[in-house]
Amino acid sequence: MALVTRAEAARILGVSAEAVYAAVKTKRLSVVTGRDGKPLVNTDTMREEWARNTQTRIGIGPKPPGPGRKKKPLRSKEERMGTSEERIGKTKESIPEYDESRARTEHLKAELLELERQQKEGLLVRAEDVEREWVEIITLARTKLLGIPTKAKQRIPDLDTDAIGVLDDIVREALEDLANNDE
């Protein structure tokens, strides 16, 4: 039993690789799993399964003239597709010259490599990392500021509750001003 890949089976059968892949997927062609886990086709049974389970397409090619139909004269490939200049002219406006396209591609690749280099050297950091760090810093600062009235009461035992309340109001007012600042 000789086992071949699906691409080799397509070559042997004289069909496209996509046709073999589709036949395997729809179980019209059986496969065996190889040692490396890849599907392989048995060449001993392949042709028989293909012939039995796959229909040839009907209707491909020119249709014979029926009653009342006139046979059209065959046109040459150039007549059907147009001249190469006509085909190129249609797409020339939308496709840049090869050298220009290649230069743009190389420039973009160079920019990406430069950004990657700067990131590895620590000169660039991801925006998500910066945002996460700033959220941590601001949260810590807010927590520390809100703790000022409590620490003041601990260090200055003579402060009464009214003074602590005033300090708390001042701190909260400052935090609200910072949060609402649109500058």
> Which amino acid is located at 119 in the chain?
Q
The reply to whether 116 and 132 lie within a common domain is no
The reply to whether 101 and 131 lie within a common domain is no
- Cross-strand pairs, 42: 3
Answer yes or no: is 73 within a domain. Answer: no
Choose between 133 and 99: higher pLDDT: 133
Written as six digits, the tokens of 182 are 């649109």
Answer yes or no: is 106 within a domain. Answer: yes
Answer yes or no: is 10 within a domain. Answer: yes
What is the mean predicted confidence (pLDDT) over 138-164? 91
The reply to whether 117 and 142 lie within a common domain is no
State residue 57's pLDDT score. Answer: 53
State residue 110's pLDDT score. Answer: 93
The reply to whether 173 and 137 lie within a common domain is yes
Written as six digits, the tokens of 78 are 């150039």
The reply to whether 133 and 176 lie within a common domain is yes
Answer yes or no: is 107 within a domain. Answer: yes
The reply to whether 138 and 112 lie within a common domain is no
What is the mean predicted confidence (pLDDT) over 45-64? 68
Q: Please name the residues in contact with 65: beta carbons below 8 A apart, sequence gap of 6 or more.
A: 71
Q: Look over the chain and give the mean of its residue pLDDT values, rounded to a whole number.
A: 81
The reply to whether 131 and 175 lie within a common domain is yes
Answer yes or no: is 63 within a domain. Answer: no
What is the mean predicted confidence (pLDDT) over 114-122? 88
Instruction: Give the Cα separation of 143 and 154 in Å (integer).
Output: 17
The reply to whether 140 and 165 lie within a common domain is yes
What is the mean predicted confidence (pLDDT) over 163-173? 92
Question: Would you place residue 61 in the very low, low, confident or very high pLDDT band (cuts 50, 70, 90)?
Answer: very low
pTM score, whole prediction: 0.37
How many structural domains does the chain have? 3
Answer yes or no: is 64 within a domain. Answer: no
The reply to whether 117 and 140 lie within a common domain is no
From 46, 14, 16, select the one nearest 29 (Cα to Cα): 46
Question: Would you place residue 135 in the very low, low, confident or very high pLDDT band (cuts 50, 70, 90)?
Answer: very high
Answer yes or no: is 95 within a domain. Answer: yes
The reply to whether 110 and 96 lie within a common domain is yes
Element spanning 42, H or E? strand 39-42
The reply to whether 102 and 132 lie within a common domain is no
Which residue range forms the structural domain that includes residue 102? 85-124
The reply to whether 146 and 131 lie within a common domain is yes
State residue 181's pLDDT score. Answer: 75
State residue 108's pLDDT score. Answer: 93
What is the mean predicted confidence (pLDDT) over 46-70? 64
State residue 179's pLDDT score. Answer: 86
Answer yes or no: is 165 within a domain. Answer: yes
Statement: residue 63 has pLDDT above 70:
no
Q: Read off the pLDDT of residues 74-112 as tens digits, 9 standing for 90 and up.
A: 666 566 666 656 555 555 566 778 888 889 999 999 999
State residue 140's pLDDT score. Answer: 93
Q: Read off the pLDDT of residues 41-51 as tens digits, 9 standing for 90 and up.
A: 888 888 888 88
Cα-based distances in Å from 175 to 140, 180, 181, 182 = 13, 9, 10, 13
